[in-house]
Structure 1
Amino acid sequence: MSLKIDRGLFKYDFIDYHAILCVPVDADVKEIRKRYLKIARCLHPDSCAATNNAEKQLASNLLSKLVNPAYEKLSQEKKRTEYMIVMSQMGKRLLQESTSIELTSDVAKNLAGTPHLEHTYKSAIAKIAETQYDSLENLLQVIGLISELNLVYLVRNVSKPAAAPPPTAPVKNHTTPTPTVNQAAPAPPPAQPKEESIAVQYIRRSQELIAKNQLAQAEVELRDALKLEPNNSRCHSLIGMLYLKQNQTTMAKVHLDRALQLDPSDETALEGKRKIEKILGQKPGSAKPVATPSTGVKRSDKSEGGGLFGGLFGGKKK
């Protein structure tokens, strides 16, 4: 299936990432992230509702070649700022060429003439988003329709940039912003590979947050990754270590055990298990170590369960 789209902004050699995610062109990062997660669950191999291999392959291609790049562009501040500057310039260009613009859908023609631009535009986007990815065969046509709406909105709203406040000043320089942005573009290295899985992207961000000691945000990233890839051992081992760092031993043990079920050689999970055994091994030993030093305390089979788990579940039956 060809992924070429020839309607709306795509017709002018511009990739309309907002249309791919079906979010308004002034959507904030929180709204973009929420929409992306919903689409990713729909298309990801572990949660896709496709009934045959061909549909699953199509869903996977759409996720990797359209949806993931769109989220990468719109979720990172510097890349999004650059993109919104170019989009604003596109709106100015199209305003000059407005007499030659052809709209193919009734909803776009209605938007072009309505006095209630904001309300009509956002209502139409929200309604289309409800079913955008229901039919993958018709998806490109739907994205083209959304891009027509974005085109009309940009042209009518060109007097005020569609971007967030940061791009406002550079937009006034009609020809010079692009070199300025190109100098800043190489700065964020994280978005380098497009082929890495969604979970790897979340893991990378979580590790950056952990390095800054922003543990709550790191936990959010790892939980989002597990929603998409519940059988990712790396995610389980990292979130297990995160809980261990916050002294949440029980939650840490659940995730580290799951990581080792999925990958018995996971070094991070093995290290976490050793730390838990050391923590739990101290609890029963500190309660009654002096009473039975000469009898060998080991108590054959009964204390095998007490060594690691006694601290969690109390004493064994006698």
Structure 2
Amino acid sequence: MLISDLKGGLFKYEVKDYYAILGLPISANPKDIRLRYLKLAYQLHPDTNQAETKENREKASTILSKLVNPAYENLYKDKLRKECQLIFSEISMRLAPMAKEMTLSGEIPKKLLREEANFNKMYQDLIETLAKEQYQDLSKLAVKIGLLSELNMIYLVRQKQGELGKVMGGGSSNVEPKIAVSEPIITAAPEQSGNTGVSQQVEEKEEKVPVSRLEKLISSAKNHIEQFNPDAALFDLREAVKIDANSAVAHAMLGSVYLLQNNLPYGRIHINKAVGIDSNNPTVKKAQEELKQKEKKSSTGKTDGKKTESKGSDKEKSKDKKGKKEPPKIFGIPLW
């Protein structure tokens, strides 16, 4: 069994849920991850596996090497775990508005989706219960991992809805978040009279048009970029896309900042997202051109080093070339 064989939960959206493979909640810390891995490794390793037949022992060994070991490697190391969390944040941003339309496989995830008062406790308890029997029958492992991943998916979506609710000023987590748009104050034209004080007050009201938080963040990010402070701009723009996931300008600028930091994968993700929202926006066009130049330089560098690469790496390159036609990837995982 390979990770690519898993189809339930987040895997359905081509996101690798390493937490589900290990039978862990999204909130698991490095200590929890290591303890769970050691338990599974003991259970599946050829020297300690309790399977009665040779076929089952070989199957357990394959699952350990193809599923459990990669999951542990991607979660125990801080850098790789943070990349996984970033992917989760992106996919939950996409799924949050569609929570009520998600297709779930059984009553257990549906029950969690309906829960309000004790959501976190129920989530933890369900993960723990399923994890106890997850690797007992390896013929049902794919189904169990899919079920665990559905629980993780619901947790991520509920968490994202909560974040968006706070940004928008609160509200129920089940309500689709809406972007608060500031509207200008419309006042009637003052009657012709000698009262200049009244007309002056009306003019002041007309001039003081409220500025939304999104606009403030984008403006602040522009100032930071002009002052060669990409880290501060990055912080502002991340907040901006949380407020409005469909802001082409915010995604385009965020992608450009990632390119400034030589982070081509993240830059490509956000710029492509911006193009999908509004390809005619001047900011988006500028970011798209920056991406093309960056990709051109990157491909040129690969071509220069082609003679020194092995046949195996040539195959990987051909896969990369094909991958450019597919959805963008972070850490080898298609994001959408």
Corresponding residue of 1:191: none
1:105 aligns with 2:110: no
1:9 to 1:160, Cα distance in 2 relative to 1, 3 A: same
Question: For residues 160 and 262 of structure 2, what CA distance do their matches in structure 1 show?
Answer: 20
1:92 to 1:124, Cα distance in 2 relative to 1, 3 A: same
Aligned AA for 2:75? Answer: L
Aligned AA for 1:145? Answer: L
CA contact (8 A) 1:111 1:120 kept: yes
Question: For residues 15 and 70 of structure 2, what CA distance do their matches in structure 1 show?
Answer: 14
Please list, as runs of the form range in 1=range in 2, the aligned pairs for 1:4-83 lying within 5 A after superposition.
4-83=5-84
Please list, as runs of the form range in 1=range in 2, the aligned pairs for 1:201-220 lying within 5 A after superposition.
none
Per the TM alignment, residue 171 of structure 1 is displaced from its structure 2 partner at its CA by: 5.2
Q: Percent identity?
A: 37
Question: For residues 44 and 262 of structure 2, what CA distance do their matches in structure 1 show?
Answer: 33
CA deviation digits over 1:38-90, x for unaligned, max 9?
Answer: 01100001101111121111111111111001000000001111110110111
Normalised to the residue count of structure 1, the TM-score between the two structures is 0.52
> SS in structure 2 opposite 1:97?
helix
Aligned AA for 2:16? Answer: I
Question: For residues 262 and 135 of structure 2, what CA distance do their matches in structure 1 show?
Answer: 33
Long gaps (5+) in structure 1: 162-167, 186-318
1:127 aligns with 2:129: yes
Question: For residues 92 and 44 of structure 1, what CA distance do their matches in structure 2 show?
Answer: 38
Per the TM alignment, residue 105 of structure 1 is displaced from its structure 2 partner at its CA by: 1.1
CA deviation digits over 1:224-256, x for unaligned, max 9?
Answer: xxxxxxxxxxxxxxxxxxxxxxxxxxxxxxxxx
Question: For residues 120 and 98 of structure 2, what CA distance do their matches in structure 1 show?
Answer: 22
CA contact (8 A) 2:75 2:81 kept: yes
Per the TM alignment, residue 99 of structure 1 is displaced from its structure 2 partner at its CA by: 4.2
CA contact (8 A) 2:2 2:67 kept: no
Whose Rg is larger?
A: 1
1:2 to 1:74, Cα distance in 2 relative to 1, 3 A: closer
1:127 to 1:59, Cα distance in 2 relative to 1, 3 A: same
1:112 to 1:18, Cα distance in 2 relative to 1, 3 A: same
Structure 1 stretch 74-83 or stretch 2-11: which is displaced more? 2-11
Please list, as runs of the form range in 1=range in 2, the aligned pairs for 1:1-318 lying within 5 A after superposition.
4-115=5-116, 116-159=118-161, 172=239, 174=241, 175=251, 176=254
Long gaps (5+) in structure 2: 164-233, 242-250, 267-336
CA contact (8 A) 1:20 1:67 kept: yes
Question: For residues 149 and 159 of structure 2, what CA distance do their matches in structure 1 show?
Answer: 15
Corresponding residue of 1:270: none
> Which runs of 4 or more aligned residues in structure 1 lie more than 2 Å from their structure 2 counterparts after TM superposition?
96-100, 168-185
Question: For residues 99 and 135 of structure 2, what CA distance do their matches in structure 1 show?
Answer: 31
How many residues align? The count is: 179
Alignment root-mean-square deviation, CA? 2.6
CA contact (8 A) 2:127 2:148 kept: yes
CA deviation digits over 1:251-298, x for unaligned, max 9?
Answer: xxxxxxxxxxxxxxxxxxxxxxxxxxxxxxxxxxxxxxxxxxxxxxxx
Normalised to the residue count of structure 2, the TM-score between the two structures is 0.49
Structure 1 stretch 92-101 or stretch 65-74: which is displaced more? 92-101
Question: For residues 114 and 50 of structure 1, what CA distance do their matches in structure 2 show?
Answer: 38
